Amino acid sequence: MKTATTLLLFLSILHFTNTAQVIEQDSLALVAFYNSTGGPNWNNNSNWLTGQVSTWYGVTVEGGRLIKIMLYSNSLNGTLPNELGLLTKLNTLGISNELGLTGSIPEEIFSVDSLVWFGIGNCALTGKIPNTIGNCTNWFCFKLMWDFVS
């Protein structure tokens, strides 16, 4: 009986951890991202705006905070929103093969000092790399390929 109770408790904790909702500022930033990049027309927008944020396609949640956005060849169309700067625990941003993604990289994204992996490639971004990139001091990887950013 004790083993069954322990197992039930473990599974309950595991379920709670995997379905935990993120804080409001993270979900607002993701909704802004979805809206500004044509989310309703993405190739895969599974669970976006309907399920728990932790179940949304292309995102990873840990400890109630959004830590990763990885979207590749998903028909993003629009611009990266300034609200990405609200994702204060984001450590990974990976976006590639999104030729409908235009505009510049918002300077707010580099106000996120937890960012260690930034990879954007084969999009149609333009402009300059924001000076705020100096705020990120823990880089592991910075990739900007096949875009028109200087």
Has residue 3 been placed in a domain? no
Cα–Cα distance, 33 to 78 (Å, whole number): 9
Domain count for the chain, please give it: 1
What pTM, to 2 d.p., does this model score? 0.82
* pLDDT value, residue 21: 84
More confident residue, 146 or 92: 92
Has residue 130 been placed in a domain? yes
Nearest-CA neighbor of 69 among 36, 18, 16, 29?
A: 29
Contact 87, 62 (CB under 8 A): no
21-72 pLDDT per residue, tens: 899 999 999 999 999 999 999 999 999 999 899 999 999 999 999 999 999 9
Has residue 8 been placed in a domain? no
More confident residue, 135 or 82: 82
Query: How high is the mean pLDDT of the chain?
Result: 85
Has residue 31 been placed in a domain? yes
Question: Does residue 18 carry a pLDDT above 70?
Answer: no
Nearest-CA neighbor of 33 among 91, 93, 89, 73?
A: 93
Has residue 9 been placed in a domain? no
Question: Does residue 106 carry a pLDDT above 70?
Answer: yes
Question: Does residue 74 carry a pLDDT above 50?
Answer: yes
Question: Does residue 13 carry a pLDDT above 70?
Answer: no
Has residue 26 been placed in a domain? yes
Question: Does residue 8 carry a pLDDT above 90?
Answer: no
Neighbours of 114 (CB within 10 A): 14
For 82, list phi and psi in degrees, rounded to 5.
Answer: -60, -30
The domain of 30 spans 22-149
Nearest-CA neighbor of 35 among 102, 94, 80, 93?
A: 80
Has residue 5 been placed in a domain? no
Has residue 14 been placed in a domain? no
Domain containing residue 96: CATH number: 3.80.10.10
